[in-house]
Amino acid sequence: MSLLRGLLGMELIGISVRPFLDFQERLTLLGTFFILIDKEVIYICPFNGPIKGRVYITNYRLYLRSLETDSALILDVPLGVISRIEKMGGATSRGENSYGLDITCKDMRNLRFALKQEGHSRRDMFEILTRHAFPLAHSLPIFAFLNEEKFNVDGWMVYNPVEEYRRQGLPNHHWRITFINKCYELCDTYPSLLVVPYRASDEDLRRVATFRSRNRIPVLSWIHPENKTVIVRCSQPLVGMSGKRNKDDEKYLDVIRETNRQISKLTIYDARPNVNAVANKATGGGYESDDAYHNAELFFLDIHNIHVMRESLKKVKDIVYPNVEESHWLSSLESTHWLEHIKLVLTGAIQVADKVSSGKSSVLVHCSDGWDRTAQLTSLAMLMLDSFYRSIEGFEILVQKEWISFGHKFASRIGHGDKNHADADRSPIFLQFIDCVWQMSKQFPTAFEFNEQFLITILDHLYSCRFGTFLYNCESARERQKVTERTVSLWSLINSNKDKFKNPFYTKEINRVLYPVASMRHLELWVNYYIRWNPRIKQQQPNPVEQRYLELLALRDEYIKRLEELQLANSAKLSDPSTSPSSPSQMMPHVQTHF
Amino acid sequence: MMFFFLFSVSGNASNPEFKKKKNSECLLRLRHEGLLNSCPAGVASCPASSCPFRSPRSPRLKLLESALLLGPRPTAGGMEFSELIRTGRAQAELLRGPGAPPLRGTLCVTGHHLLLSPGPQATSDLWLLLLRSVDSIEKRVAGDSGTITLRCKDLRVLQLDIEGVEATLDIARSIEALSSLESVITSFPFFYRPKGLRLGDAWHFHPPEHYYKRVARETNAWRLSEVNEDFSVCPSYPRAVIVPRAVDDDALARSARFRQGGRFPMLSYHHAPSGTVLLRSSQPLTGPQKRRCAEDEELLRAVLAGARPGARGFIVDTRSAQAAKQARMTGGGTEAKAAYPGWKRLHRPMERGRPLQESFVRLVEACGDLEQSMDRWLSRLEGCRWLAHVKEALSTACLAAQGMEREGACILVHGAEGTDSTLLVTSLAQLILDPLSRTMTGFQELVEREWIQAGHPFQLRCAHSAFSHARPKHEAPTFLLFLDCVWQLGRQFPLSLEFGEGLLLALFEHAYASPFGTFLCNSEKERCLCEVRTRTHSLWSGLNQPKEQRKLRNPLYVLNPLAIWPSVEPQSLRLWQGLFLRWTRPPEPSEAAWEKVWQIVTDKEKTEGSQPTVSASEPQP
């Protein structure tokens, strides 16, 4: 037994094996925690059947340890991923394991616990889970504000907008940095620092803001280092049923067009399907008409809205959890339309990137409010165009810039700490973006510094509420809540242990534009994410590094076996007086000191 | 990029008469002019053909012409190749699909090749296509020019725009006639003489004797029998086979008479860790009368006795129980329970023959259909059923492997003839269990032993690929299905196979059309009759040249001593894009990535000296 422990603690050939920490140690991993519940339950595992275990709930996680097999840790679920908690069965329900709790998670799984029917045994568990999974409904702080973890790097320092724009060569003759939104008075969902055309005065900007939904005026996201074409993002123009026009907006777009002298037209990509854009006129929105914007060309990219995406992902969950729909796997997958949506998003981003890179025309991207589809398109196009964003820190900056600072409504889309699981504002837009990044990393295995684990970690902490990174809807709200002072950044965790997230095959290439193939033939379901709870999938090792770890673990097991045999043989020899005294007695101490 | 169809000039014809004096003069010239040594890949000669083009544009072509014209004219079924060539030459433009620039130049049909020699200003060299690799040809004429679409057996689609209507029609007819010649001994491998390779090399890499040496080291229960020395006992088996020591040659011959095509149970693989064996055979000829054969029963009894006391056996029949029963009506059947104590029969129906070929055709059609809306791609892919066949094959192989490794049982695999799905199962089971078969040489040995020498009728199965309009006769992509399953294994266990996708693609191409003799004919017997071993080059010597290695090897390989159990869940099996979408996707990223992985690995090798592959797969500090 001591031999085994020695081996388990040993680091194998310089690889830190996934830490099997002591349970208490694991609990205290986070600064502030207290155990709220410690009770016996039956976990109804959809793969292995009912497992008797002890559940521990802290203010951050739920743990389940088996009471049967080596008290193995079976579940480790941050309360933040919980989207819904339901009671199943009643005190009089019949049938085995019919009384308990059913928990729906945001990360593609459900958890089911059965409890004893006597004495309202589930009541305390239900109440504590509800309070701490949905703190907002109980006037409690989100866990990130309680977390006292310390890291040796500060992730909040990763993104500095001035530095990032300077890296892009800004400001220059045509573009200036403006502090007009310093106190978020121009647009409360935009960052305080914006890049706008040199020739547009602050007064112009204010007038343009009146004509753009939620004042989200066109501002620069990225500039091409050589041909100086730009990607500009904004929200839809407030055209309305009457077809209103705004001279300032028209002039402003023309100023943007003129910052790049190479081509006569500005290209506008409206991310929505044509019909949706037209329908938006009824609620005061719309799109740029040919008559009003002579020097612009408008294209629709046919990407559907947040509700369509939410329903699509729901269907994906239906076919992969708990059991994979086996008999008609491909046609079931097709009927979820998930990959089709991925294809449309990627296709749109490719068009943006291609226009800027080869078309030599500046591009303006918007959808309705410019914080969902727009963020997907600009960030993916930037990822294709600029190799900097394909490094670990570059990607963090990209997410921080195009998503977090430009007001992707993380709080509404994810519902951090909120109990309204059926809220129509929830939607997996950011997950879809990460899926697109994964598709790209599959097609260009050497182009990204990060690995699959990096993307999965980001998604896990999108829900976990352990870090402040994805909290709130926009920069102004984050500033009010002093998020950077009171919480830890996800990038602190990642950057303090970068090796774990590195792609061994990464080769840095400057100025290479990546054009992924966005055809259904080349897109795949991200099995390692969507089906990761299925133990049958876990056995697969598509990731070479993980596979290598597993192979090493198997080898280690073999070594343990061999060493035990050796020890047995040695002790047998030792007890046998007839053996020559030289070799075994010399070997034994050696073997023992080794462990 | 064209892989083996674009091989470099480095040889000359050596059909018997070619050794005449006046020819050797010309060949000498070829060598002296440096044509044979200095040409970059992409230039080739087709020495065996008569090529009538008169005004070549480059001195190199002129040389080629003289060599070709002086050469004797081999005949095809009493007819000279030249009689099949209507027009030798025309101006044409070649479109090779996305990614490759069009080529313009002089087109020329020779006995075995289609050549395109680019104009003088062009930088690229001769383009060359083995006519044997053309699967279907389509011609269209309009105005005073025509278009020929060639669909190749490696799934490439080429388009030739040709000046002149007559020329187009003539060239199309010539290609049609020459690409469908059935005679083996006039095929290109009999004339292909690449430089740096010697005839007869590598043909003795992987004889059964070699595998027997390994078995003999592990167990004493088996012997090498030469009962089939003259192929009279079983025409589709090799001369030497591994059989239980306790069974003599007479008994083998009698057992052979009880099995279809004489394919009596023989050893396919000995699994040393569990001491069990994998056997293969054809169906027993029980017939409606439920005949029995004492020697056949004795043979299987001896197998169990030789494994270990009390060992059990499983007979994996690759047909459904129903189909196996029905086979009795036509003289076949299956082993009766009572006649073979200790053996239990399992039925695992696998698709074969026509339905498999149709599945292949449908898949290739779907992959090549670029116009159709892609919303329905996944259900169309499912409708092709190809991935379902991959699943069947892998799960049956897993069953056989599991029986050996986990149950400690002996396994006999057969279907009807025992030359298709049987081989699929036995070869995949070995890959799962045997780390040696996952090495470069081990895998080549496996293909040689379990497919080529085991009598998979390559000539019949691979006569046409997925594009042919000819009425299918015996075609079936069994070998391709095997390669696909191996690819799935490699995808699921990216470090455990020493070879990469490149080798699998090469085997696919060469199985359907090749300058090498390895995949010619249907059995060892036919290969002996055609003197394939002495008159053609072995693919293995071609592949094992140092310059090919980077394309074929897996840079991440580390020896994995464990069995690799693949997942056969539908979401674990993928379309083999590298093969089925090879010519429609831009090949750049994956090839560039492959090259970079090589660079990383070899760089590490240089800096660290030892254990390069292990460290390359770990995250770098």
What is the C-alpha R_g of chain B? 26
Q: How confident is the model at residue B522 (pLDDT cuts 50, 70, 90)?
A: very high
Instruction: Decide if A588 touches B, using CB distance below 8 A.
Output: no
Tell which B residues from 386 to 405 touch A, by Cβ distance under 8 Å: 387
Cβ-Cβ contacts under 8 Å, A512 against chain B: none
Interchain contact, B378 vs A331, CB within 8 Å:
yes
For residue A271, the Cα-to-chain-centroid distance in whole angstroms is: 22
pLDDT at A247 over 60: yes
Answer yes or no: are the C-beta atoms of A353 and A230 closer than 8 Å.
Answer: no
Greater confidence (B124 vs A9) lies with B124
Cβ-Cβ contacts under 8 Å, B572 against chain A: 527, 537, 540
Q: Which of A45, A105, A367, A436 is catalytic?
A: A367
Instruction: Decide if B473 touches A, using CB distance below 8 A.
Output: no
Nearest by CB to B379, from A15, A330, A505: name it: A330
Tell which A residues from 304 to 323 touch B, by Cβ distance under 8 Å: 320
Interchain contact, A324 vs B381, CB within 8 Å:
no
Report percent pLDDT > 90 for chain B.
49
For A547, nearest residue in chain B (alpha carbons): B493
Q: How confident is the model at residue B1 (pLDDT cuts 50, 70, 90)?
A: very low
Predicted complex: ipTM over 0.85 = no
Tell which A residues from 23 to 42 touch B, by Cβ distance under 8 Å: none
Nearest 5 degrees, angle CA B133-CA B136-CA B138?
130
Tens of pLDDT, residue by residue over B239-254, are 999 999 999 999 999 9
pLDDT at B103 over 60: yes
Interchain contact, A326 vs B382, CB within 8 Å:
no
Is-cis flag, bond preceding A322, omega within 30?
Answer: yes
Tell which A residues from 120 to 149 touch B, by Cβ distance under 8 Å: none
For A340, nearest residue in chain B (alpha carbons): B375
Nearest by CB to A545, from B381, B586, B619: name it: B619
Cβ-Cβ contacts under 8 Å, A443 against chain B: 589
Taken in order B452, B457, B463, B468, is the CA torsion positive or negative? negative
Instruction: Decide if B567 touches A, using CB distance below 8 A.
Output: yes
pLDDT value at residue A359: 73
pLDDT at B60 over 90: no
A255 three-class SS = helix
Greater confidence (B616 vs A42) lies with A42
Residues forming beta bridges with residue B316, ordered by sequence position: B346, B413
Tens of pLDDT, residue by residue over B441-489, are 999 999 999 999 999 999 999 989 999 888 778 999 999 999 999 999 9
Instruction: Decide if A517 touches B, using CB distance below 8 A.
Output: yes
Q: How confident is the model at residue B176 (pLDDT cuts 50, 70, 90)?
A: confident
pLDDT at B514 over 60: yes
Tens of pLDDT, residue by residue over A292-329, are 999 999 999 999 999 999 999 999 999 999 888 888 99
Tens of pLDDT, residue by residue over B113-156, are 888 888 766 556 778 889 899 999 999 988 888 999 999 999 99
Cβ-Cβ contacts under 8 Å, B273 against chain A: none
Q: Which amino acid is at A538?
A: K
Q: What is the mean pLDDT of chain A?
A: 85
Beta strands in A90-236 (DSSP E): 100-105, 110-114, 175-178, 194-197, 219-223, 230-233
pLDDT at B70 over 60: no
Answer yes or no: are the C-beta atoms of B129 and B151 closer than 8 Å.
Answer: no
Is A183 a residue of the active site? no
pLDDT value at residue A9: 30
For B556, nearest residue in chain A (alpha carbons): A544
pLDDT value at residue A524: 92
User: What's the rounded Cα separation, in Å, for the pair A83 and A38?
Assistant: 22
pLDDT at A270 over 50: yes
How close, in Å, is residue B391 to chain A by CA atoms? 12
Cβ-Cβ contacts under 8 Å, A457 against chain B: none
Cβ-Cβ contacts under 8 Å, A446 against chain B: 592-593, 596-597
Q: Which of B11, B115, B132, B18 is nearest to B74 (CA)?
A: B18
Q: State the Cα torsion B234-B239-B241-B247 to the nearest 10°.
A: 70
User: What's the rounded Cα separation, in Å, for the pair B134 and B153?
Assistant: 6
What is the C-alpha R_g of chain A? 28
How close, in Å, is residue A526 to chain B by CA atoms? 10
Alpha helices in A337-385 (DSSP H): 338-354, 373-385
When pLDDT is averaged across residues A194-221 and rounded to a whole number, the result is 96
Nearest by CB to A536, from B569, B616, B618: name it: B569
pLDDT value at residue B307: 85
Nearest by CB to B574, from A324, A334, A524: name it: A524
Q: How many CB atoms lie within 10 A of CB B132?
A: 22
Q: How confident is the model at residue B582 (pLDDT cuts 50, 70, 90)?
A: confident
User: What's the rounded Cα separation, in Å, for the pair A539 and A317?
Assistant: 20
Answer yes or no: are the C-beta atoms of B125 and B9 closer than 8 Å.
Answer: no
pLDDT at B19 over 80: no
How close, in Å, is residue B617 to chain A by CA atoms? 6
pLDDT at B41 over 60: no
How close, in Å, is residue B354 to chain A by CA atoms? 23
Is-cis flag, bond preceding A171, omega within 30?
Answer: yes
pLDDT at B395 over 50: yes
User: What's the rounded Cα separation, in Å, for the pair A479 and A341?
Assistant: 34
Residue whose entry in the numeric block shows the structure tokens 């019919």: A98
DSSP label at residue A56: E
pLDDT at A26 over 60: no
Nearest by CB to A330, from B378, B590, B617: name it: B378
pLDDT at B15 over 70: no
Starting at the edge strand found earlier in the chain, the sheet holding B113-118 runs B127-130, B113-118, B103-109, B89-95, B157-163, B145-152, B134-142
Report percent pLDDT > 70 for chain B.
79
pTM: 0.84
User: What's the rounded Cα separation, in Å, for the pair B520 and B184?
Assistant: 7
Q: State the Cα torsion B70-B76-B77-B79 to the nearest 10°.
A: -60
Tens of pLDDT, residue by residue over B566-578, are 989 888 899 999 9
Range picked from A504-513, B11-20, B198-207 for highest mean pLDDT: A504-513
pLDDT value at residue B556: 82
Q: How confident is the model at residue B204 (pLDDT cuts 50, 70, 90)?
A: low
User: What's the rounded Cα separation, in Å, for the pair A472 and B379?
Assistant: 40
Tens of pLDDT, residue by residue over A382-427, are 999 999 999 999 999 999 999 999 999 999 999 999 999 999 999 9
Contacts A–B by Cβ distance under 8 A: 122
Q: How confident is the model at residue A17 (pLDDT cuts 50, 70, 90)?
A: very low
For B379, nearest residue in chain A (alpha carbons): A331
When pLDDT is averaged across residues A348-359 and rounded to a whole number, the result is 93
Beta strands in B22-173 (DSSP E): 75-76, 79-80, 89-95, 103-109, 113-118, 127-130, 134-142, 145-152, 157-163
Nearest by CB to B589, from A444, A504, A531: name it: A444
Instruction: Decide if B550 touches A, using CB distance below 8 A.
Output: no
Q: How confident is the model at residue A588 (pLDDT cuts 50, 70, 90)?
A: very low
Tell which A residues from 347 to 376 touch B, by Cβ distance under 8 Å: none
How close, in Å, is residue B376 to chain A by CA atoms? 7
**DSSP-assigned letters across all residues of B322-364:** HHHHHGGGGT-----TTTSTTEEEEE-----HHHHHHHHHHHH
